Structures are given as C-alpha cells and as structure tokens.
Structure 1
Amino acid sequence: MNDLSEYIIAPDLSRVRLTRRVVGVDQTGSEVAQDVIEERPLTIYLNSQEIVTAMTIGDYPEYLALGFLRNQGMLEGAGAVTQIDYDAELEIVVVRTSAPTNHEEKLKKKTRTSGCAVGTVFGDMMEGLDGVVLPKAQLRTSWLYALAHKINTTPSLYLNAGAIHGTVLCKEDQPLVYMEDVGRHNAVDKIAGWMVQEQASAGDKILYTTGRLTSEMVIKCAHMGIPVLVSRSGFTAWGVELAEQVGLTLIGRLRGKRFQCLAGADRIIWDADLAQIKDEPKKSGRKGAA
C-alpha cells in the first residue's frame, strides 16, 4: 500500500472549464456578474455495459467512474482493472476489467438515496456490510480543529462560486486529497477512485465531507475502510446507527470550537485547549446544512 503525504487539491483546472461567468441583476436591478458552477453529464460504462449517467463538474472523470463502481460493489470478482478510457467529446468513461463482473445482478435493483440530485444505489445498500469492523483508530481533537481551519481556508471552487460539495481525505491533521463536485457522493467516489488507483491505505485515514452524515455516506466510508467520518453538517438516525454497527467514529457539525460526536466517542483524545481555538468567522469558510 502507498501512504502518500502529498497534498492534492482538486478540481483540476487544466482539463475542463469548471465555472462560467453569468451576468444578471441583483435585488436593486443593478447588473451583477457571477461565476457559477458548470454541470455536465458523464456516462459510466463497465466494459460494454452502460451503468449510469452522473451529473458532475467534469474533473477527474476516471477517479469518479472507478470510485463509483467500487463503492457500488460492481468490481467484485472482476479481477484487475486493466484500462480506463475517457472520451471528453462523447462525455463517457469506460472502465475495463480482466474478468466478467457481477454488475448485471446489481442493476436489477435500484434504491433512491438521500444523495444530492437524487442519488442511486444499485443492489442491496447493506450488502457486504455485515461483518465489517473498522480499525479502532484514535482521533485527536487537535487534528479536527487543524483540519477544519486548513480545509476552510484552502482555495476551492466553493469559495469561488459556491453551490458545490467538498470531500477531503486526511491523515491526522494533514489534508491529502481534496475533491469537489455538485453532489457529495460524486466527491466521495472521486476519493475512492483515487485510493484504488494509488493503492492508498485506509485504516489510518479521516474522511471529511461538507455533506450530511446519512446512511449511504456511512456505508460508503465503511466500504472504503476509513474509520473516521467528519462533516460540517448534521446526522440522520440511520447514519448514526450504522456507524455504531461498523465501529465508525462519526463527527458532525464541526465549526469553530464546536462539534458533535454521535458514535465512537471512546476513541477521541481530548488534547486541544479550547481557549486557543478561534471561532469560525461567519463570512468565511464553507457553509454546511445544519
């Protein structure tokens, strides 16, 4: 396994146009120009089978396709991924494997999820979760506060145009890989695809997201083998229940000095001096749904 310490920030501005300048008017009728997020379809194929069309900002299509298929369990029994082909003109990406996969059985059942833009899970959401027990990784509160500050002040599409979710793969107090997209599940899948491609270890990592901590977000994190999931946003009851089931440390509403831990509190090391932690400025950093 590789354990990379390189900080990789996305999106990749060199490959696609990710924002567009739009001119309109404000509440006074005065002209105003605004950078808005581009949104385009990406159709994912597994070998010769069309799987899904996702709405995405368009960066890192290979990571998104690979991570999506991995998190859907469609690469099980498929052998090695031999090739990933992306056609920007046709807006398709094809993931090729050395052996047949179980995707046909998966496609028979679809579940609408609480994901942005109506997420979809193929097959049984709980499949493969029985018996999953994540590593009992300790989490220092000093890491949480350091990560929140670094992530909220890092240049990003959100700070430029808003209307977008971010997901960051971290180790201790260091962000490693930063992905953004219009849907939080797309951003997580890009992280998953990167981890598969780079053979990155998972047991010592933290996954940070701006999205809600729902059941499918916990399931994705569990399937990726990451023991800590952190968000600026809130929880759902099923998300908390599943986190407890698999041994996931679940942190939500991380803003300034505040956070809530609804699963895995016994693995937290309370080493931060709150008197030294600054409150988050109201007009800076990311916003998340409460």
Structure 2
Amino acid sequence: MGDKQPFTQTIPYVLVEKASNQGVYQEDTIIAEERIALYLNGSKIIATMSIPKDQDAHAIGFLLSEGVIESIDDVKNISIAPDGLSVYVDAKINPEHLQNLYHEKTLTSGCCVGVTGNFEGKIIEKFIATQMQIPIGWVWELLESFEVGNLLFHTTGCVHQAVLHFLDGTSIHAQDIGRHNAIDKVMGKARLARKDTTQAVLFVSGRLSMEMVIKAAMHDIAILISRAAVTQLGIKTAQMLGITLIGFARNDKCNIYTHPSRILLDQTHTQKAAHTTDSCYLTSR
C-alpha cells in the first residue's frame, strides 16, 4: 500500500481467494475517523464523524454552508483542542439560522449526517446573474489532475476529495470520509485564505445530491463537477439555483445536466440538446 500517510493506521487482515479457499495474512492501510465536536460561542452545536485534519477549515465551511455566519469577517477567534477532537469558534452569528440548525435538521443522503438549512430567494437571484464560462478542455485538465492528486484516497480507498480550481490557476484541496465534510473543508480553507469562490470551479468525488448542490450555492459556486452520479433532486436544485451541474466526469466523458452555456464546447461536434432552454442532458466527448 506504500508509505503510511498521516491520519491512517496499518492493520492486519486475512485475504481469502475463492480459487484456494485459503487465508493469507496481509496488512492494509485504514483511514482514521474521529468524532469532532464544534463549539460556537461556548456552546456545543454539533459533532461530526470526520478525519482529524483541517478541523478549523471544516468548522468555518460548515457554519458558512448553514448560514449561521454570513462571512469569514464574522469570526472573532477559532482554536482547536490539543487532542484535535474539539473546535472552538467565537463569532457573530445569525440566531435564526442557528435555531434552524438545532430544531429543523433534515436527514439527507449525504453520508448520514448531511444537514439542510434555510436556502431561499437571495441565492436564486445571485446565481441567475452569475456569469462564468470555461472551455471544455479545462474540464479534461481538471479531471486528470483530480485523479492523480488524491494520495490519501490511493492509499486507503476510503476518502472523498473536493478541489476548488480558481480561474487564476491556483487550487485548494481537501479530503474527508464524508463528501459533505470534504466540501465544507475546502470552502473553509478558501474563506480562511480570503479567496473569491465566485472565481472557482468545484470538483468533487461524491454523488451530487440536493444538499451537495446547496452547499455549492452557499459559497457562490457556479460550476459543480463530480466523477460520480447526480440525483434527480440535485438536478432540479441546480437548475433552480442557476448552477452548471456536471456528473460522470471520468474516462474522458462528462454529462452536463443544467445550464450548459457556461461550458464552451466545440460546436461542430456537439449535437443539439433535447431541450431548447438552459436545462439539458448533454454528453460531451
């Protein structure tokens, strides 16, 4: 499995093959998983199962995703306990959204602990007005770099990755066992670095269900790409919020499900979409 990576441990196991029905002792590299508690203004608000890495970014990304804080400027202080299992944030908060987080949690398909909050009109208006276009060739370049850049996945086979690719050529990476955690972490890193996420494309490894699309919308992401599948509600939500949703980006192919005008294709080799609106199911390459 190669050299041991941080946040992993090596454990023994028995490999059994049908051809021989005999066991062979081997070793495997397993990802670490811990319960991380988030304290906001002195009160514990939630605990997540995640990799004990980038805990501060995870906390900031989560609070922004849920609308509990409006911007990174609302954060007064952030610290991590010595054991890495608790994160403490002091911040100016939106009390209404915090109460929704406490009382109106909706269990989603996002790895069992995804939570949806309030996501109303201001996002829709913002994304209707968003203008960004990238050439399809850039998607292929992002796909290639995404597949070779996730060392922790290649070591363990057990993590999701989220990558923000900015139009200036820079990128930010984050990994976690939960696909929603990976998004929160990469967004938190971007906010802590004062990066403008309106100038970035988000590439993720997990399926794009409704809450994944909403997380992208909460951080002003106009183009969301995944190697995995999309869900019906994910497509509906992306169409409503004005997000370009791309799934199955692998093996030199991708499916553009909504708002395809942001992806600049070679028109001489592009079949006419089945729909005349800015919502379609269009396979590229």
TM range (shorter): 0.7 to 0.9
The aligned counterpart of 1:190 is 185
Aligned partner letter, 2:246: I
Aligned Cα root-mean-square deviation (Å) = 2.4
Contact 1:129/1:219 (8 A) holds in 2: no
Q: Distance in 2 between matches of 1:34 and 1:205?
A: 36
Task: Please state if 1:153 is matched with 2:136.
Answer: no
Sequence identity percentage: 29
Displacement of 1:61 in angstroms is 0.4
* 1:110 alignment partner, SS class: coil
Contact 1:145/1:257 (8 A) holds in 2: yes
Displacement of 1:75 in angstroms is 1.2
Answer 1 or 2: which has greater helix percent: 2
Task: Please state if 1:24 is matched with 2:13.
Answer: yes
Q: Distance in 2 between matches of 1:182 and 1:23?
A: 21
Per the normalisation by structure 2, the TM-score is: 0.83
- Unaligned runs of at least 5 residues, structure 1: 1-12, 275-290
The aligned counterpart of 1:40 is 34
Write the mapping of 1:88-237 to structure 2, written as runs, cut at 5 A: 88-89=82-83, 91-98=85-92, 101-102=95-96, 103-121=98-116, 123-124=117-118, 126=120, 129-133=123-127, 135-172=130-167, 174=169, 176-237=171-232
Q: Distance in 2 between matches of 1:164 and 1:272?
A: 37
* 1:118 alignment partner, SS class: coil
Selected match of 1:60 from 27, 50, 54: 54
* 1:153 alignment partner, SS class: helix
Displacement of 1:51 in angstroms is 1.0
Larger Rg: 2
* 1:238 alignment partner, SS class: helix
* 1:226 alignment partner, SS class: coil
Q: How many residues align?
A: 258
Contact 1:166/1:178 (8 A) holds in 2: yes
Displacement of 1:79 in angstroms is 6.5
Once the two structures are superposed, residues 225-250 of structure 1 have per-residue CA deviations (whole angstroms, 9 ceiling, x without a partner) of: 01100000111111111111121111
Q: 1:228 to 1:55 in 2, by over 3 A?
A: same
Displacement of 1:139 in angstroms is 2.2
Name which of structure 1's ranges 166-175 and 106-115 shifts more when overlaid on structure 2. 166-175
- Unaligned runs of at least 5 residues, structure 2: 17-21, 270-285
Per the normalisation by structure 1, the TM-score is: 0.82
Contact 1:168/1:175 (8 A) holds in 2: no
Contact 1:71/1:189 (8 A) holds in 2: yes
Displacement of 1:99 in angstroms is 6.3
Q: Distance in 2 between matches of 1:20 and 1:127?
A: 46
Once the two structures are superposed, residues 31-58 of structure 1 have per-residue CA deviations (whole angstroms, 9 ceiling, x without a partner) of: 1100010100100011122111101111
* 2:45 alignment partner, SS class: strand
Selected match of 1:247 from 226, 231, 242: 242
Contact 2:114/2:211 (8 A) holds in 1: no
- Structure with the greater relative contact order (CA < 8 A, sep ≥ 6): 1 or 2? 1
Q: 1:63 to 1:214 in 2, by over 3 A?
A: same
* 1:106 alignment partner, SS class: helix
Displacement of 1:193 in angstroms is 1.0
Q: Distance in 2 between matches of 1:235 and 1:98?
A: 35
The aligned counterpart of 1:256 is 251
The aligned counterpart of 1:81 is 75
Displacement of 1:136 in angstroms is 2.1
Displacement of 1:212 in angstroms is 0.7
Aligned partner letter, 1:232: R
